[in-house]
Amino acid sequence: FGDCWLGCRLWEELGLDRFWKEALEGHRGPVAWEKVIELLAVNRLCEPGSELSVHARWFSRTAMDFLLDEDAEVAGKDRLYRALDKAVEHRQALFMHLQERWENLFMADCQVLLYDLTSTYFEGEAEGVEQAARGYSRDHRPDCLQVVVALVVTPEGFPLSYEVFDGDTADVTTLEEMVGHIEEKYGMKGRVWVFDRGIVSEENLERMRERGAKYLVGTPRRMLAAFERELLDGPWEEISDRPGVRVQIHRHGKECFVLARSLERARKESAILRRQLVKLHRALRSLARSARAGRLKDSGKIHRRLGRLEERYPQGWQMLAQVEVRSNRLVWAWDKSRLRGAKLKQGAYLLRTNLDPMEPEALWRQYVQLTEVEGAFRALKSELGIRPIWHRIQRRVEAHILVAFLGYCLWVCLKTKLKSVAASITPKRALESLRGILMVEVWFDLREGGQLCMPRITQPENEQLLLLHHLGWSLPEQPPPKIYRKDIEAAL
């Protein structure tokens, strides 16, 4: 009961009950369609499952009938699927509603927008889904068809919009379309786009400059080569509350470049490279011994082994000056200048912006907020179950992603409320805690025939009471008893 009640309370907090009631006003039936969509979104927040599992298992184990004031018809299988079909057409209006709610509830900054992409895969062939295709899989499932999902959030992590692209869409090709959608809905004035190096191309940046858009982006690592002197003796500034992180800024024409270096990141990259170098060196020595001993005489086989080593240890392989096979002997040498260059660049990365000159620390802080988008994708994939997709119809796939998006809206609303009053409590922990509050039914036989049913909400324990106190919410009143009389005449 408790986790479902919390989901419904968050739904009301975001005004989604009113939004969907107005949006679906023209679609009336025995069950209010807005209640069906609320049921699906709360399920996505509390215990993500397919529409079939909601119908067959989950609904009957919860108190959603009481919370929605509806009987079991609200979870009818066909009704759930039809609700998905009705919801998708109101997606753009939903985005506008959410921006208003984020600004009113949490004073969200919708002028700086963080943009990133992920993918989610299908189980099965998905023959009827036009956008399903094989492409770069962030789920490490290159064997599966997928779609690409682009998400726009505020620096605080509040979701504003998303788009679904074909599964084989290249990251760099999505930006212009997404920027156009956002500017059409919300306007362009004063808006700053933040995205990582995977979405950057010179064509993209040129188009953004042409339309007057502001950006702050990561850059490919190869661009660090132009800043080797600055890496050695540039005017570094320490980030005030992040020991080991230093930045410096350089102006080039109409753009600024922020050079950043993280000691923690440098240690990590150094350890990765060292591990690859050690393993590659051992593998090369083993291969050389086999060739010398005559166990490996075919030069073609030696080259194939070398190809596998290059694939297995790509970073280490780049540090080689030469690898040659001479008369069934393997000869290699390390490139010391590359090793020195790699050490110099460890922990360093380069940001690029056309914003007016400002402190490098402020620009760096804006960029690292991209972790909010990464956090959103983690929540969508792990706690909210956006993957895999089982649907075989294009509009149902779009609706599946919409329901996951609604679940994430509830999740981030809860996260933000907890952050201000109990920062150590995560949304997952809060839901697990309140899940312990149950609704039970106590039945009595009546002397004159029939039965009395008393639904009771169990008393919260201390941890649950403290959580409710932090949220500033109270559980609903105990529901009234119900009397069920036997129909004697019908029995006769």
Domain-embedded: residue 427: no
Tell me the pLDDT tens digit for each residue of 113-140: 888 888 888 888 888 888 888 898 888 8
Domain-embedded: residue 430: no
Residues 75 and 115 in one domain: no
Residues 206 and 355 in one domain: yes
Residues 105 and 86 in one domain: no
Please return the burial class of 204, using the count of CB atoms within 10 Å of its CB with bins 0-12, 13-18 and 19+: buried
What gap in Å lies between CA 21 and CA 35, rounded to an integer? 9
The domain in which residue 36 lies consists of 2-92+392-422
Domain-embedded: residue 285: yes
- pLDDT surpassing 80 at residue 178: yes
- pLDDT surpassing 70 at residue 189: no
Residues 152 and 239 in one domain: yes
DSSP 8-state code for residue 333: E
- pLDDT over 70, % of the chain: 98
Please return the burial class of 26, using the count of CB atoms within 10 Å of its CB with bins 0-12, 13-18 and 19+: exposed
| Average pLDDT over every residue of 185-189 | 70
Domain-embedded: residue 177: yes
Residues 137 and 255 in one domain: yes
| Average pLDDT over every residue of 35-64 | 90
Residue 422 has what pLDDT? 85
| Average pLDDT over every residue of 129-158 | 88
How many domains does the structure of the chain reveal? 4
**How would you list the strands of the sheet with 482-484, edge to edge?**
439-445, 451-457, 482-484
- Considering only 83-97, 232-246, 363-377, 414-428, which range has the smallest mean pLDDT? 363-377
Supply the pTM of this predicted model: 0.83
Q: Name 399's Cβ contacts closer than 8 Å, sequence gap at least 6.
A: 84, 85, 87, 88, 391
Residues 355 and 396 in one domain: no
Domain-embedded: residue 444: yes
- pLDDT over 90, % of the chain: 38
Residue 188 has what pLDDT? 67
- pLDDT surpassing 50 at residue 490: no
Residues 371 and 244 in one domain: yes
Q: Cβ(35)–Cβ(70) under 8 Å?
A: yes
Q: Cβ(38)–Cβ(68) under 8 Å?
A: yes
Domain-embedded: residue 432: no
- pLDDT surpassing 50 at residue 488: no
Q: What is the DSSP string of 110-148?
A: -SEEEEEEEEEEBSS--TT-TT-B----TTS-TTS-EEE
Residues 101 and 198 in one domain: yes
Residue 486 has what pLDDT? 63
Q: Given 319, 344, 369, which residue is the final one in a domain? A: 344
State the pLDDT confidence band at 491, using cuts at 50, 70 and 90. very low
- Considering only 68-77, 99-108, 182-191, 476-485, which range has the smallest mean pLDDT? 182-191
- pLDDT surpassing 70 at residue 492: no
Domain-embedded: residue 296: yes
Residues 103 and 250 in one domain: yes
Domain-embedded: residue 429: no
Residue in this structure with the two tokens 């509040």, named with its chain if needed: 158
Residues 328 and 227 in one domain: no
Residues 298 and 235 in one domain: no
Residue 483 has what pLDDT? 85
Tell me the pLDDT tens digit for each residue of 10-21: 999 999 999 999
State the pLDDT confidence band at 487, using cuts at 50, 70 and 90. low
| Average pLDDT over every residue of 401-421 | 92
| Average pLDDT over every residue of 44-56 | 88
Residues 312 and 407 in one domain: no
